[in-house]
Amino acid sequence: MSGLSKDFDIPSVASTSQEGQKNRTLKVTLLSSEWRSSTDGDLSTINRELAIQLAKHSNVEVSVFLPQCSEEDRNNAESHDVRLVVAETLPGINPVDRLMFVPDGHVVDCVVGHGVTLGRQVQVIRKQHNCKWIQVVHTAPEELGVYKSISKGEQLQKTEVALCEKADQVVAIGPRLTDAYKRYLRCSKKEQNVFNLTPGIFSEFLDVEQATEERRTFRVLVLGSGDCCEDFMLKGFDLAAQAIAELKDKSYQLKFVGAPRKKGEEIADELLQHGIDCNQLIVRSFSDSREVLANLLCEVDLAIMPSKTEGFGLRALEALSAGLPVLVSGNSGLGEALKEVPFGSHCVIASEDPRDWAREIKAVRQKKRSVRLTETKFLREKYFEMYSWKEPIRSLVERMYSLIFGSESRPGIATGDKRPASTVLGDRHSKQFRGKSVNYDHLEALKGSLGGRSSHSSMEYGKCPFSLTSVTQDRLVQVRSPSQRPVLMSCVTTKRVEDTVDTIGWEMTKRGALLHGVPYGVP
């Protein structure tokens, strides 16, 4: 796939002026209940990915503070340049509340909290360590309360907003929550503090190979999490079972993955009450292994997320990252994000009627398998072009850097990767669950200079804004100029370049750098 690639490494080097300030390391600590996603679902997934993406910046030192972890967790985190710090065991204190007490000697500039459960501790940490508070919001509790407990949802929402008002920066996961929290914080005049972080493609699933042959049965996947018994109606699991039953075709099967341990029978009984035949149902318990999830995503034919309401919906995005066709609820952050992507709206269902979901599931199956897989790869590529991890994380790092060191001390370039360069997507690459690092953002380093459009980029078409530092090896990259003439660009540089030059006939020297473009292939 030409549009997706993994690494374009640009280590951060400060300009000669203010070199001391710009070379300062930003120390970021994220609070977490776990490193791998076993109970907290989307929250743990976002937290881990956020840590990994932040650690790709050469001027950022990342640690995750959590109640406990295994040696395997430590090794996996270290492979991404993330250090796990375990809280001291304090009898009589809830494990996550131990996170209020950062170990002596642990230096922190910014603390990242999540929601109420992993955000309330930052109030204490900030007072003790005089650090900045970044608050990440994953849900709008009062919206969930309609399907669970209205009074509890209302109280949680008040607490969530109060924490956001105290924080130095609010990060909302996806467009839906960004809009919601801008509204909540409008009266306190802090809506400008809300930063939209729409999750990008998960590179660890790019190596998943979908089978190309047609299958006798059509297996539909719905993913739950540790609290799926409580959230059965909220997550639309009843709707999934009803949709399969509505098809009246035993060749359709529903695979439910995410049942809490020892509660598989309870989940199965609940699903069977919604008309689905027992021969069409498979229930599997939750696994925190990313490798198990990758294998699962190539066993099925379609993933659905029929949630009544969803802050974002990372499970469906993980499926899309693996090249698996998806159908998602229109009342979700991912649904709103997909509507902005070419052909993404075809995957969004703005209905809670099982007949509508049945019709769309059948429509996916009626396409030849090769066609629907090709369409999904195209959608994945377009999603990546619009929502990458790289650009919003770079902006977030700049904001944190300004909070700590002042706006005049921003790093010379916010995206510097600590790891060696990798090749284009067509090559095999390591996966996170193998303990190796992967970066999916090679394309972003060049996209802006070629006039590509991105929701995170404001680069001018026809210009090549260079803000590069050292490139560790000679590279030959085929690109296209605004005149659509292919250009072979060779980058050989040992020092920072910061200039804007025409994209045709690039030849510039500045501080020891040379960029030279040679038209070829088209007269």
Q: String of b and e for 237-276 (b: at least 16 CB within 10 Å)? A: bbbbbbbbbbbeeeebbbbbbbbbeeeeeebbebbbebbb
- Give the per-residue pLDDT at 496: 33
- Give the per-residue pLDDT at 325: 97
Compute the distance between CA of residue 201 and CA of residue 334 in angstroms, rounded to an integer.
12
Cβ–Cβ under 8 Å, residues 268 and 235:
no
- Give the per-residue pLDDT at 429: 35
The whole-model pTM stands at 0.76
Cβ–Cβ under 8 Å, residues 506 and 517:
yes
* Per-run averaged pLDDT (10 residues), the chain, 523 residues: 45 42 84 78 89 96 96 95 96 95 95 96 95 97 91 96 97 97 96 95 93 93 74 93 97 92 87 95 86 92 96 95 97 97 96 97 96 97 96 96 80 50 35 37 40 38 35 37 38 34 33 34 35
The first and second tokens of residue 405, run together, are 């060191």
Counted residue by residue, the chain has a size of 523
Which CATH number does the domain 204-386 belong to among 3.20.20.70, 3.30.1330.10, 3.40.50.2000, 3.20.19.10? 3.40.50.2000
DSSP state for residue 348 in the 8-state scheme: E
Cβ–Cβ under 8 Å, residues 228 and 237:
yes
Q: Give the model confidence (pLDDT) of 34-89 as tens digits.
A: 998 655 568 889 999 999 999 999 999 999 999 999 999 999 999 999 999 999 99
CATH assignment of 26-200? Answer: 3.40.50.2000
DSSP state for residue 102 in the 8-state scheme: P
Residue indicated by tokens 């929502």: 387
- Give the per-residue pLDDT at 461: 29
Backbone angles phi, psi at 134, to 5 degrees: -105, 120
Same fold for the pair 26-200 and 204-386 = yes
Helices 369-386 and 314-321: crossing angle in degrees, nearest 10, is 120
Secondary structure class of 359 (helix, strand, coil): helix
Q: How far are the Cα atoms of 220, 255, 486, 502 from residue 264, in angstroms, in the given order?
A: 18, 12, 56, 61
Domain boundaries, the chain: 26-200, 204-386
Close Cβ partners of 288 (under 8 Å, ≥ 6 residues apart): 34, 36, 37, 38
Cβ–Cβ under 8 Å, residues 336 and 350:
no
Nearest of 509, 38, 507 to residue 518 by alpha carbon: 507
Secondary structure class of 363 (helix, strand, coil): helix
* Host H or E run for residue 519: strand 513-519
Backbone angles phi, psi at 151, to 5 degrees: -65, -40
- Amino acid, res. 166: K
